[in-house]
Amino acid sequence: MKAYIDYKNVVPKTVIGLMIFLIVLVPVMTSNMATLSMIILSGVWAIAVMGFTLVLRTGQFSMGQAAFMAIGGYTSAVLTFKLSMPFWPSFFLAGIVSGVVALLIGSVVLRVGGTYFSIITLALCEIVRIVAQEWEPVTDGARGLMTSPPPTIALPGFEINFAASPVPYYYFMLVLVAVTSLVFRQIGRSRMGGTFFGIAANPTLAEHQGIRLMKYRVIAFTVAGVFTGFAGSFYAHFLSVISPVMLGLWQSIQIMMMSIVGGVGSLVAGPLIGALLLYAFGIYVSRLPVFNIQYLLFGTVVVLVVIILPKGTGLVDLWDRFWRKVVWREKEFEFEEVEE
């Protein structure tokens, strides 16, 4: 038997590997604060978008994902600023609190599905914002809470100082995104991921097969909540402030758009592409001198992506198509006409 290399599988993966390698090396190539913080923040959004996409897998779409970021951010901000706890326990508590809130809310709210669920999460998002704004003793109201950067980690030979430069944040974000991606990828490939698909595609059939819909919906919602909480905590500490207007309904909508533009077919690649491209695009157009043009271009791009891409597959599908159509020049399978 002849050993052979499956080029069609290996070459794209090598390219992806090279890209990841380049992304890891970005701080070596540039120390430009703006570039670094752009990539860092799009990483944060990517985690939130992954959470949204996971919930979407079960057929529910949540318009309140930014609320979980706000809960995570406020948890760690309150713990570090008001109760002067160290950073790392607060960071993990932020994820846990956000996950517990998602579990409690999800187990009540997920019973009504579809549009109703979206509206309820929209209302929850607004409630979180109002509470953050009005609960003055804890959240300092509309002024927002100041957060401190993570403490300096002293290693033999050198030390990681979060206050001095964004580079440590960059690698922290990479680790966070990598962990989230691995977890979500495993979930997507496991039996549970298949179940998610099943209950989205046909809830009635799934229920009659003995799958408890609520259980899987709540699991997806809770996992999304935990990681979104981590992202929120990171966001608050990176920007060194968290205020009620930073994470509201419009940010939830932004998360939703990133997910759809990136593509909901994959749990990891789609959100990463969507968050990176839309966030970078938003930053780029906000530098244009024409007033308000960023809203116009943002809306146009999202509408065009949704309309033009076939069956709304999102940008992630283009990668696959690029290799199949442009590089390998594969032909679609067609029935051959019988010639007389």
Partner 1 sequence: MPPAGIWIDGLIQSCIYMTMAFGMVLVFSILGILNWTHGQFYMLGAFVVYYGIAAAGMPLPVSMLISAVLIGGLGMLVEKFIIERLTGPGYGPLYVTVATLALIFFFEGASGMLFGALDKGLATVLPGVLDLGSFSVSYQKIAVIIFTLIVMVAMYVVLNFTKVGLAIRAAAQDPVAASLHGISVGQVSLIVMGIGCGLAAMAGGIMAPVYVINPFMGRTPMIMSLLAIIIGGIGSLTGAIVGSIILGFLNSVIAYRLSYISELVLFLLVIIILLVRPQGLFGASRK
Q: Is 295 in the site for partner 1 (CB under 8 A)?
A: yes
Q: How far is the CB of 1 from partner 1 (least distance, A)?
A: 42
Residue 339, both tokens? 């010639």
- Tell me which amino acid residue 204 is: T
Q: How many residues bind partner 1 (CB under 8 A)?
A: 43
Residue 289, both tokens? 């001198």
Binding window for partner 1 (CB under 8 A); candidates: 36-44, 128-136, 318-326, 329-337: 128-136
- Please pick, from the candidates 38, 96, 100, 297, the single residue that binds partner 1 as defined by CB under 8 A: 297
- Please pick, from the candidates 197, 312, 318, 319, the single residue that binds partner 1 as defined by CB under 8 A: 312
Binding window for partner 1 (CB under 8 A); candidates: 4-12, 68-76, 206-214, 289-297: 289-297
Is 161 in contact with 152 (CB distance < 8 Å)?
Answer: yes
Phi-psi region of 224 (alpha: psi -120 to 50; beta: other; left: phi over 0): alpha
Distances (CA, A) of 338 to 70, 330, 335: 63, 22, 9
Q: How far is the CB of 133 from partner 1 (least distance, A)?
A: 8
Rounded to the nearest angstrom, the gap between the alpha carbon of residue 170 and the centroid of all alpha carbons in its chain is 16
- Tell me which amino acid residue 78 is: V
Q: Is 307 in the site for partner 1 (CB under 8 A)?
A: yes
Q: Which is nearer to partner 1, 148 or 294 (CB)?
A: 294
Q: How far is the CB of 68 from partner 1 (least distance, A)?
A: 16
Distances (CA, A) of 107 to 128, 205, 224: 18, 21, 14
Query: Within 10 A of 150 (CB to CB), how many other CB atoms are there?
Result: 22
Q: Is 186 in the site for partner 1 (CB under 8 A)?
A: no
- Please pick, from the candidates 165, 293, 327, 330, the single residue that binds partner 1 as defined by CB under 8 A: 293
- 94-123 residues in contact with partner 1 (CB under 8 A) are 108-109, 111-112, 114-116, 118-120, 123
The span from the CA of 252 to the CA of 235, in Å, is 15
Burial status of residue 253 (CB atoms within 10 A of its CB: 0-12, 13-18, 19 or more): middle
Interaction site with partner 1 (CB under 8 A): 56, 61, 108-109, 111-112, 114-116, 118-120, 123-124, 126-127, 130-131, 133-134, 249, 253, 256-257, 260, 264, 290-300, 302-303, 306-307, 311-312
